[in-house]
Amino acid sequence: MTGPAEPRDGPSTYWAALVVLVAMLIGGGTTNGLFSDRIIQIALLPLIVIGALRIRAAQLPSYAAAWLLALAIVLAWQLFPLAWWPGGAAHGFVSASPGKALDYAIFALTLSGFAVYVTTLTEVGQRRILLVFILGYFINLTMAAVQLSFVGNQGPFSSPFYPFAQGAFQNQNHFSSLIYALVPVFAFLLIHERRQIAAYITIVAIAVLVLLAANARAAIAISVGLSIVSLVVFSNRGAGLARGRVATLLGASALALVIVAVVFGRFVGEFGEDLRVKFNANTMTAIVDFLPLGSGLGSFVDIYPRYEPQTGIERVYANHAHNDYLELILELGLPGLALIVGLIAIIAANLLISARSLAFGMGALAILAHSIVDYPLRTYAIGLVFAFFCAVVMTEARAKPARIR
């Protein structure tokens, strides 16, 4: 901890902590129009207003602010009424699914507003909120362990909003995203700051065992690799220079990749039979037809069936492409691709500013890596984790532009 919080943190951090806790408990649904999501959106409104009023105190680099502005423009364009455009269809919109486009736009803008709010806080204020994310982590891990101990379909927990599959999540893979995303943060807090390696290894081992029991293959691979990288990187406190930290990070990453390939290589053969491969191939075909501006935000469900071969139609309903990048490029076209590349570049460019930015940046990139084979960012629980991580990285970028520690 770095001293008392400044007045600008104020009591809003306690409200933010409450919102985060609520999201950790009822923000794991993936279905459109969930009442639980509406509760979280309403709860986020005060924080968004506070962030807007404190915008001058926001520690946002100019390029991050430009990215947020570009995001707002792209989202607003999806709801542009084509009836106003010469030759446009009456009552039509840019998006083929304006209702879903509005839902997704509100989702993205509320998360962005939360991130802006977090950048107005001191490090002490941010740590207050981080403690609640950690609390949500252990609540979900405990719930998952209890659920996995039950035999049969009768689970010990229920929700009026959506069915719990693992922890408080509707999808076990999205639960897994929460588990591995916090691994680098635990390494930073326990190894870099307190030198408690045994505590870090214990937490990681328990998390991996739960993931093994849940048979979350991609998450297991990411968790093991990320755990090894985090252990090596944050144990090396002498890497004060960027060059040393890059070498350590690259070396640890290479080691992790080798171990993951050896331990989990048996999953490679199964992946070829995974429906994700077919979903991705059909989605890429659709992308080509809808370039350069895409089919419209939220239109995947309406567009995808047109590109599913009649000889290969599956009984499984394709609600998403199970690859957020392909789905966003289909819906938003080249502007969507530019937003994706820009976000990844912003996070990656600020990884080495400090040990803190490295930890939170690694967590954010891990979620983005999982998005290649799933859609974890479409839940409020994971969305808030990701927004918070990005905000911390941006705070470090603005507050310590010339220091690597």
Residue partners of 128: CB distance under 8 A and separation at least 6:
5, 9, 13, 14, 16, 17
Rounded CA separation 265/288 (Å):
32
Q: What is the pLDDT of residues 258-267, one digit of tens each?
A: 555 554 444 4
- pLDDT tens by residue, 228-278: 888 888 887 654 445 555 555 555 555 555 555 554 444 444 444 456 778
**183 falls within a domain:** yes
252: Cβ–Cβ under 8 A, 6 or more apart, which residues? 228, 229, 231, 232, 233
Of 7-16, 104-113, 166-175, the poorest mean pLDDT is in: 7-16
405 falls within a domain: no
Q: For residue 252, what are the domain limits?
A: 12-83+91-399
Establish if 2 belongs to a structural domain: no
Residue 404 is assigned to a structural domain of this protein: no
Distances (CA, A) of 289 to 137, 256, 294, 318, 327: 42, 39, 8, 19, 14
Domain count, the chain: 1
Cα separation of the two ends of the chain: 16
Q: 192-228 pLDDT, tens per residue?
A: 999 999 999 999 999 988 888 877 777 777 788 888 8
Give 235's contacts (C-beta < 8 A, 6+ positions apart).
Answer: 191, 197
How does DSSP classify residue 168? Answer: T
**What is the DSSP code string of 189-202?**
IIIITT--HHHHHH
CA 238 to each of CA 119, 123, 191, 262: distance values in angstroms, whole numbers, following the listed order: 29, 23, 13, 30
> Residue 316's pLDDT is what?
56
Cross-strand bridge partners of residue 93: 81
- What is the mean predicted confidence (pLDDT) over 92-115? 89
Q: How many CB atoms lie within 10 A of CB 332?
A: 24
307 part of a folded domain: yes
- As a whole number, mean pLDDT of residues 384-397 equals 94
Dist. CA 293–CA 332, nearest whole Å: 6
Q: What is the mean pLDDT of residues 288-306?
A: 88
Burial 99-133 (b: 16+ CB within 10 A, else e): ebbbbbbebbbbbbbbbbbbbbbbbebbbbbbebb
pTM for the full model?
0.88
- Angstrom distances, CA of residue 49 to CA of 37, 59, 64, 131, 207: 19, 16, 19, 23, 36
Tell me the β-bridge partners of 28.
169
